[in-house]
């Protein structure tokens, strides 16, 4: 069996190769070259090429492993070792030249995330975590922020652009968190948002619907940095399609409570 340390090394190598490709390729500026998976949800040959590059490295090093990605089967999680891959988290940002997109790779053994990397492509920052061994950035151990007062907290979020039936509820949440916190940021890459929580640049984060490849690596980063990441009910999240609430030990419970309260303030149907 491949050690957790070796799995982390494999993930780092695959992420680096994919990032070098993304840094070198010309982005397709003409929307005619963009494929569409749904409203405001784009995919290009750049995504597919980066995914193929990553898959080749992972299969060469761990031929017994399954690989789960946006274009691959969710049944992959039944394998003893599964790689969960997002080759380009923040595709819309990439297409517009907006500098916030990442490569995210996580190794899942027997249902548990044991290694993960998030590589900020534009800033060339490699976040990495190993279960039980901490989260790191450029040799520096990461810890979540010490901000405890909500009025001082900076909160990240993501819009429910794929689930517009949830927009009304989200806007109630947004208004409540905005008025009770120190501010809200939306960069458009959940993997980077979770990495920023682990780093302490964001004190909390929430989004109503994310996929396994959006959160697997980032969730491990946060836990290994001393933070918390759950669903809206406060239950630990698995590698699944789920809502996400994350934060440092003080802001996470506050954020959970505020989000729960918004359900009582929704307009009557």
Of 22-26, 216-220, 231-235, 251-255, give the lowest mean pLDDT range. Answer: 22-26
Alpha helices, DSSP H, located in 84-143: 91-96
Residues 169 and 112 in one domain: no
Q: Find the mean pLDDT for residues 197-219.
A: 97
Q: What is the predicted pLDDT for the residue at 185?
A: 98
DSSP state of 41: E
Count Cα atoms within 13 angstroms, Cβ side, for 170.
Answer: 17
More confident: 210 or 37: 210
Q: Find the mean pLDDT for residues 249-256.
A: 98
- Interatomic CA distance for residues 12 and 103, integer angstroms: 10
Confidence category of residue 199, pLDDT binned at 50, 70, 90: very high
- The CATH number of residue 125's host domain is 3.30.540.10
Q: 114, 141, 168: which is the final residue of a domain?
A: 141
Residues 166 and 112 in one domain: no
Residues 37 and 94 in one domain: yes
Residues 159 and 254 in one domain: yes
Structural domain range at position 206 = 150-265
DSSP state of 268: P
Per-residue pLDDT at 268 exceeds 50: no
Confidence category of residue 167, pLDDT binned at 50, 70, 90: confident
For residue 236, the cross-strand partners are: 230
Q: Find the mean pLDDT for residues 60-86.
A: 83
The token pair at 102 is: 């990442």
Q: In terms of Cα–Cα distance, which of 87, 196, 188, 189 is closest to 137?
A: 196
- Interatomic CA distance for residues 118 and 103, integer angstroms: 6
Residues 127 and 224 in one domain: no
Residues 46 and 164 in one domain: no
Report the number of distinct structural domains present in the chain.
2
Residues 67 and 157 in one domain: no
Taking only the tens place, the pLDDT of each residue in 24-45 is 988 776 766 655 554 444 457 8
């Amino acid at each position: 069996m491949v050690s957790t340390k070796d799995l982390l090394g494999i993930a780092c190598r695959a992420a680096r190769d994919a990032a070098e490709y993304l840094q070198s390729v010309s982005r397709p500026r003409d929307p005619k070259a963009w494929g569409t998976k749904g409203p405001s949800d784009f995919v290009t040959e750049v995504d597919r090429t980066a995914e193929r590059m990553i898959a080749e490295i992972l299969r060469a090093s761990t031929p017994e492993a399954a690989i789960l990605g946006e274009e691959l089967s969710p049944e992959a999680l039944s394998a003893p070792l599964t790689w969960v891959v997002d080759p380009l988290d923040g595709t819309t940002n990439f297409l517009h030249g907006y500098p916030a997109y990442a490569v995210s790779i996580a190794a899942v053994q027997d249902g548990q995330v044991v290694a993960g990397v998030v590589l900020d492509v534009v800033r060339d920052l490699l976040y990495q975590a190993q279960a039980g061994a901490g989260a790191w950035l450029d040799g520096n151990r990461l810890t979540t922020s010490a901000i405890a007062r909500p009025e001082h907290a900076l909160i990240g979020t993501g819009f429910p652009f794929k689930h517009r039936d949830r927009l009304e509820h989200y806007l109630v949440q947004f208004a409540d968190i905005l008025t009770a916190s120190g501010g809200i940021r939306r960069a458009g890459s959940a993997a980077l948002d979770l990495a920023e929580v682990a780093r302490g640049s964001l004190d909390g984060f929430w989004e109503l619907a994310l996929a396994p490849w959006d959160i697997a690596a980032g969730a491990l980063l946060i836990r290994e940095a001393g933070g918390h990441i759950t669903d809206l009910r406060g239950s630990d999240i698995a590698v699944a399609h789920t809502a996400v609430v994350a934060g440092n030990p003080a802001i996470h419970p506050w954020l959970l409570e505020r989000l729960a309260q918004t359900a009582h303030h929704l307009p009557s149907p």
